[in-house]
Amino acid sequence: MRFLKYAGMVSAAFVAACASSPHYLESDFVTTPIRDFGKVGTKSTSLKSGKEFEIYGACADGAQEYVIRQISTSAFGADGRWVVQTADGRSVTSDQIFYDRHAFLAALGSLEVVKQLEGLEGERRMRVASSQAATIPDQCEAMHARDSAEAAHRANAEVEKTSSLIRDVVARTGIQPMLMGRNEHDFNNLVTMFRRLGVDDFLGKFVWAKDGDYLISQVMPGEVFLTSLTNPSLFPPIRIITDKQALEGQAWSAVSRGPLEFVGPAIHQTAYGGTRQVLVFKAI
């Protein structure tokens, strides 16, 4: 009798242990890649639990943000008995966002869907992480490296293109560039620069000038006059010596995008008999 009683106690303990020990099911999560701009990751879907996750890194422009997001609409899964937990039993009910790859991988590795207790069968669990999801930080870093290399290549190509254009103008005219780098400024900022630094260092040099707020206000044989549209009292008229055809009201860029040599300040006779200082450029 004592043996039977002891055997019964062992059997009960065994059943209790089996009931309380978590049992991992073979995962039926199916992963598909996420192909949104600037993202690398997977969408993971389980028919068994009714759970669906987006797991991705937002890697554009050098950022590295890792997201684990539950997108299934059923809070407790297909049969109402599945919840999302970490391996230590903490419930996960909202998005998890990480800025560190190690924290992201730790959270991903502990993420599980858990079927709640049903009598003596104990919990049933499935791990959410996949081998594809575990490579997301590496994919993010590879994307960042690739984008950086492409940006550097574009920048170098732009520098070489600008340098080539400057060399061509110098070879054709003998005139030196006015500015370092792109040798480009809009008319408003050129005026501001001349006021701040004077004109002596810029006379006889060329620049590619953008319109700013200047438009052609007067067309005369061999020259056009540009006037600041928004503040003509602050920004003086600009006279461009050119043989190109132009229309009043046009932007200069609609007439030509070629380089301009800075001739210097001059005095212009206005239509009303007065005088006005102008800044003179010459198309070259």
Distance, in Å, from the CA atom of 129 to the CA atom of 96, rounded to the nearest integer, reads: 14
Please write the tens of the pLDDT for every residue from 58-96: 988 777 899 999 987 665 555 668 889 987 788 888 899
58 touches 67 (CB < 8 A): yes
Strand partners for 46: 51
pLDDT score of 88: 79
pLDDT score of 3: 41
**Quick check: helix, strand or coil at residue 48?**
coil
Share of the chain above pLDDT 70, in %: 87
Q: Residue 7 pLDDT > 90, yes or no? A: no
More confident residue, 258 or 83: 258
Please write the tens of the pLDDT for every residue from 30-60: 999 998 888 999 999 998 888 999 999 998 8
pLDDT score of 257: 95
Edge-to-edge, what's the strand order for the sheet holding 96-98? 30-34, 39-46, 51-58, 65-70, 96-98
Q: Residue 255 pLDDT > 70, yes or no? A: yes
More confident residue, 14 or 178: 178
